Amino acid sequence: MKALLLENIHADAAKSLEAKGFEVETRSGALAERDLIAALDGVDYLGIRSRTHVTRQVLESATELQSVGAFCIGTNQIDLEAATELGVAVFNAPYSNTRSVVELAISEIIAMARRLTDRNRDMHNGVWDKSAIGSHEVRGRTLGIVGYGNIGSQLSIVAEALGMRVLFYDIADRLALGNARRVGSLDELLGSAETISLHVDGRSENKNMFGAAEFAKMRPRSLFLNLCRGPVVDLDALHDNLVSGHIAGAAIDVFPTEPKSKDEPFVSKLQGLSNVILTPHVGGSTQEAQEDIGRYVAGKINDYETTGSTSMSVNLPEVAAGPLRERRIVHLHHNVPGVMARLNSLLAKHDINILSQTLSTKGALGYAITDIAAADVDGLLAELEGLDETLRVRVL
């Protein structure tokens, strides 16, 4: 079992995997496609964060790859369609850094409302400007949240605890928490809130969802935050609205194109604007979040290797496998009628007794975990691999 962990994934992940018998190689930065293909030779498990792109070509070249662990929330850097077709399990950490992102958003809302960036710059330049002009409390002001998932909903709770009024818009039917109120359209939200914070995912239809038309509908002198995905916002349109003063301040943590490491330069049209807070995609980068992500995703990788469990997999049918009893057959297959009958016929042919069996399907895939009485399975394994429906089969 060989694992490759990239992009400074927390050391606890490597320690956890090594304790389970994995051979672990760690690298500090992201890898380009060609380098990643070379690095995956002989690798069973890959761990990445947001800057490494796992393309179809990478997946097709890495014939021994069993699983990809995204040690972050998003998985849009992975070709999920190709991973699913090839039977490569993908896991992520959908909850681990939620609080860290929320705390950064809250701190930036307060910093912009109090004009702390201006005050900090003036003090460093030797200017003592003790003035309340343009400085406001956030209490009593209205926060508009676009995307009310794990992060958006928790931001709602914390903002309300500070005395803010919270409105949110989501295309999915979400339960409002506390006193937050759902609005019927994005336009209604933009015209009602004094601060807009984006918390949507990286699906292709969200690209440039926020541009000149959306900024024009925001209230004059509003604040704007994007801590979700870089391609969601048209930065040229944001720049123009900041320069004109229509948008009073912005906090941007994610960008359409981001350096793969600190050795590459960062360039943005927003640089040099005093009313903009720029951070290098650090929304979830706290010690607490990275430790929890490292533990969580490494645990999912280990469970998949040792028990076949796909619980919380992004792309495969979910089966929460219990402890291994004697021997276990893990069978990922095309979801077509009769496949389980053929699987069980082969077990009967080899006089193998079934102790338990669990099946889950998801779209075109089926995933079966069959516990069997200890037996010689070499001949069975070859026949299972020969089934037309089989994508992957393992015996644990």
* Domain identity same for 228 and 122: yes
* Domain identity same for 354 and 267: no
- Residue range of the domain that includes 21: 1-96+287-314
Give the count of alpha carbons within 13 A of 120, CB side only: 10
Q: Which residue has the tokens 């409302």?
A: 113
* Domain identity same for 201 and 301: no
User: Which residue is catalytic, options 281, 328, 331, 333?
Assistant: 281
Strand partners, 168: 145, 182
* Domain identity same for 166 and 64: no
pTM score:
0.83
* Domain identity same for 58 and 191: no
Query: Is 333 annotated in the active site?
Result: no
* Domain identity same for 107 and 89: no
pLDDT of res. 50: 87
* Domain identity same for 299 and 184: no
* Domain identity same for 17 and 55: yes
User: Which residue is catalytic, options 33, 160, 258, 383?
Assistant: 258
Confidence of residue 29 (pLDDT cuts 50, 70, 90): confident
* Domain identity same for 58 and 135: no
* Domain identity same for 248 and 378: no
Number of domains in the chain: 3
Nearest to 4 by CA among 52, 39, 37, 30: 39
The H or E element that residue 355 is part of is strand 354-362
* Domain identity same for 107 and 13: no
DSSP codes, 172-189: S--PPPTT-EE-S-HHHH
CATH number of the CATH domain containing 274: 3.40.50.720
**Cα 43 from Cα 3, distance rounded (Å):** 6
Tokens of 356: 């338990």
**Cα 84 from Cα 23, distance rounded (Å):** 25
pLDDT tens digits for range 95-138: 999 999 999 999 999 999 999 999 999 999 999 999 999 999 99
User: Which residue is catalytic, options 229, 328, 331, 333?
Assistant: 229
Averaged pLDDT, 200-214: 92
pLDDT of res. 323: 87
pLDDT of res. 188: 98
C-beta separation of 73 from 97 below 8 A: yes
Query: Is 115 annotated in the active site?
Result: no
**Cα 136 from Cα 115, distance rounded (Å):** 8
pLDDT of res. 242: 97
Query: Is 34 annotated in the active site?
Result: no
